Structure 1
Amino acid sequence: MTPTDNINIVVASNNHYAILLAALIKSIEVHHKTPEKISLYILDDGISADSQKKIRASVSKEMVEMHWHKTNTVIPKNVKIPVDKSAFPVTTYLRLFADQVMPADTKRFIYLDVDMIVKEDISKLWNADLKDKPIGAVLDLSETAGSEWGGIPNYKELGIAPESKYFNAGMMVVDVQKWKKGDLGNKVIQCLHDNLASVNFADQYGLNVVLVNQWQELDPKWNSFAITDVKDPYLIHYLDIKPIFKSYNSIPRYQDEFYTYLRQTPWKNHKPIPDYVRIARKAYNKAKKIVSAYLK
């Protein structure tokens, strides 16, 4: 990448997690020191007008250029989202088709889950060497396909070696041309339909099956999980209960760091909210997934 290229970042959010997106993009802005501007592609799964206004006000227009894309413009009409057994929202599947909303000559993008904050200059991740692989990512907590509690439950049936490395899909650096050429979005969706009984972590399962041994492992500090105590992480990923909830149960100082950035946004007065809201959202996510699949 050259210093004149914009850094393309893709995020996907519903209205529930718009507040997380504000903290994420503020953290990116605070630590970005090199000359590139940021093109932020927001895959919008129902973010309200009020939340959109707050997100826009969270960062400088001079540094961050936002492109908003509604769900129905991201997922192709002929694609049927699988109804897996997880509570992951439909929003998670949008990343599979991010290439659909970007200019045809786009070379790469960084995908980030919104439950993250960035503590290093994003340009360093942008310039990561993918070594001719379609994506770069970081090992998941389960680490291998044969993990007893994560990984790929039916790895044996698929002929995948149990020691094959398994990545977390919350942060990916994507070579767009390789993604398009491999038709990877559609392949992942088909994989999920074909193996629905074994799908444990939504499209992360399919990504790891389709891209087994075909991804570049990046520095683990670029996807450091909030339940692990890592010295000077580049990116903190709140995998478990999010820091906006009273029942947050990961490392306490990471919740404090989240609020350091959130306080620099229009959500600056936010206080952690009761756990029943989180539980209700999970139920909502499951119901919406079923309805969306039926309507497709």
Structure 2
Amino acid sequence: MEKPDIFIGVCYHKNSPTISSQYLRPLHVGATLSKEKLDFAIRDDVGDSISNRNPNWCELTGLYWIWKNVDADYYGLMHYRRLLNFKPRESHRTQSFFEVTDREIAKFGWNDASIRNACSSADILTAHSCVIHPSGASHVSMSNYEFYKREHFSKDMDIVERLVSEMSPNMRPFFINMLNSRTAFFGNITVMKRSLFREYCEWLFKILFEAEKKIDVSCYDEYQKRVWGFLAERLTMTFVDYAMAVHGATRRELPVVLRQLPPCSTNELLQIAQAKKRIAQVAQPKDDGPDDFIDIVMAVDSKYAPHAAAAIHSALVRSERPQDMRFHLLDGRALRESDSIKLEATVSQFGAELHVVDVDDKKLRWLPLNRSHISLQTYFRLLTPELLPNIAKAIYLDADIIVCADLRKLWDIPLNGNPIAGAPDEGGRSQSRRLQLPLSHRYFNAGVCVLDLHALRQFDITEEVLRAFRKYGDLITLQDQDLLNIIFSGQTTSLPLAWNANTRIFTGNSLEPDYSEEEAQESALDPKIVHFTDRIKPWNTKCPHPLQELYWLHRNETAWRETKLKTVKRQLLTLIRNRVVAKNRRLRKARTN
């Protein structure tokens, strides 16, 4: 058996930036079922183990292995993507990292000296407690039981409550307090001194092994089958409260550090720089080809008219037959006539059509707006089937995009009988959990959508919206995007991510996307549509987006072109910033090596 002073297992299930020291020990969880070989990690299938339970028991197979196979003064468990900060400042604010270098190790105290100091300060270390609320809806406070009932199956928690009452009645008061509490810490991330840890594991696995006999997970989806990890989180909170009250144990809360989905590497940024020239090239016009129009819908006011012009220009120059494109601008009487004339000039030079569609927004004014950079126009796309009654199909585009490929290729993607198609959102998994959408639904970003308007007219959209608000209420935080995902859950065609390449692909993502790192990297290197999501916009001076110049390439071909002096100043600032970013990357890489 291992005999260190402190043993904190860091759970891995795939290759990832490694965090390791004498006290921090990488642990390959689910090793017995894994096809990957993690040479840097201890396998959890040697000695006494439950490694084969990992698909449903998650990090608990690592916890069990530590309990049965390690002899130490302090024991702990963390994850390669969720770790304690052993060198916290006063704030408990969650922080993030992309890679593991000397800088991150020093900053977050992932070294033996910091860990030893933290362990000496308390009997139990846990992640910091937070107010319980659905993901993305911090204004909706819930108890532990209410939250579990909403996110999982309350019958499982009821079974565990009965088992706690029968098998360890001394724990029952603390379990009930946990169920009623409106704060929690998650992830089964703890460090405990020896006597407490061994009592904790003895009790935890006794309850869970008995619950396993009574809970049938055969009909659960892959997410809900991780029930034992979810239940263990609540039992862990119960034990910590018990240990403090009965044993007089001291507890210290530490901030959690999250690994973000990494941004493009320096190498990839160089490839993107080379790709800029390729995707900036205009298409060669053709006279032959399909005779059908491509109808493109945008919601535009005078504030966003310059950005819409850049987006429209990019779509036209990438098209082999721009004369087949018809742009429909949904205007809630906020587009000046002078701006309409400028937009018409951008379109007409390519032989395309532009139509301004008047929208009476009175019927939408009751809908909520909870983000400062979002206006009522975001809901206009819900009215598209009604506003364009003679059109069968359309592509909806936000104005903060740049088209990098012929939209005919997007137009020709089959919808397979679904009324709408969209690419996965940069925070899709957490958004789906907030709205309790099925695992089979890939929450999509509504900034780029293909709409079967004929199929959409079969829905009473107004009634569907009212039903959604009646059911979800203030859990709807992303306006019409949430509504579209709710209404068309299970009836959506998922587009390749490259057709809606969001900003966080290029700058790093601390959210939970419903796409892989591989998908993100492929989309960054060959985007079909670049979407400047969130508040990072290319017309802002301090925009860090590596493809910012694509926006100006097209805007400067419209009536909203900037002066030469402004161009030189902006390009100089961009050059300086990019060089600083590249230098910092090289320094971090050098420190790592």
Contact 2:310–2:402 at 8 Å: present in 1 too?
yes
Match of 1:227 among 501, 504, 507: 504
Give, as a single letter, the amino acid of the residue that structure 2 aligns with 1:234. Answer: K
Match of 1:247 among 538, 542, 552: 542
Q: TM-score, normalised by structure 2?
A: 0.41
Which residue of the partner structure matches residue 153 of structure 1? 434
Instruction: Spell out, residue by residue over 1:22-77, the C-alpha distance to the aligned partner (whole angstroms, 9 max, x if none).
Output: 000000110000476111110013011222222112233553211111221xx5x6
Instruction: Spell out, residue by residue over 1:198-250, the C-alpha distance to the aligned partner (whole angstroms, 9 max, x if none).
Output: 1111110111111112100111111011331301200000002211112324x
Which residue of the partner structure matches residue 69 of structure 1? 357
Contact 2:357–2:387 at 8 Å: present in 1 too?
yes
Aligned residues: 257
Partners of 2:335 and 2:363 lie apart in 1 by 24
In the alignment, structure 1 residue 14 sits paired with structure 2 residue 301: yes
Aligned ranges 1:207-218 → 2 under 5 Å: 207-218=484-495
The secondary structure found in structure 1 opposite 2:356 is strand
Which residue of the partner structure matches residue 279 of structure 1? none
Unaligned runs of 5+ in 1: 273-296
Match of 2:313 among 23, 26, 47: 26
Which residue of the partner structure matches residue 110 of structure 1? 395
The secondary structure found in structure 2 opposite 1:153 is helix
Report the alpha carbon displacement of residue 161 of structure 1 after superposing the two structures with TM. Answer: 2.9
Partners of 1:17 and 1:266 lie apart in 2 by 13
The secondary structure found in structure 1 opposite 2:491 is coil
Pair 1:62–1:246, CA change in 2 (3 A): closer
In the alignment, structure 1 residue 268 sits paired with structure 2 residue 553: no
Partners of 1:50 and 1:151 lie apart in 2 by 42
Give, as a single letter, the amino acid of the residue that structure 2 aligns with 1:69. Answer: V
Pair 1:221–1:185, CA change in 2 (3 A): farther
Give, as a single letter, the amino acid of the residue that structure 2 aligns with 1:124. Answer: K
Which residue of the partner structure matches residue 57 of structure 1? 345
Partners of 2:447 and 2:464 lie apart in 1 by 19
Instruction: Spell out, residue by residue over 1:135-154, the C-alpha distance to the aligned partner (whole angstroms, 9 max, x if none).
Output: 1110001233xx1xx44524
Partners of 1:110 and 1:90 lie apart in 2 by 20
Which residue of the partner structure matches residue 290 of structure 1? none
Pair 1:61–1:263, CA change in 2 (3 A): closer
Contact 1:86–1:202 at 8 Å: present in 2 too?
no
Pair 1:55–1:190, CA change in 2 (3 A): farther
Pair 1:154–1:172, CA change in 2 (3 A): closer
Match of 1:96 among 363, 382, 390: 382
Q: TM-score, normalised by structure 1?
A: 0.80
Identify the structure with the greater strand proportion. 1
Pair 1:174–1:189, CA change in 2 (3 A): farther
Partners of 1:261 and 1:236 lie apart in 2 by 13
Percent identity for Structure 1 against Structure 2: 28
Partners of 1:100 and 1:37 lie apart in 2 by 23
The secondary structure found in structure 2 opposite 1:168 is strand
Which residue of the partner structure matches residue 419 of structure 2? 134
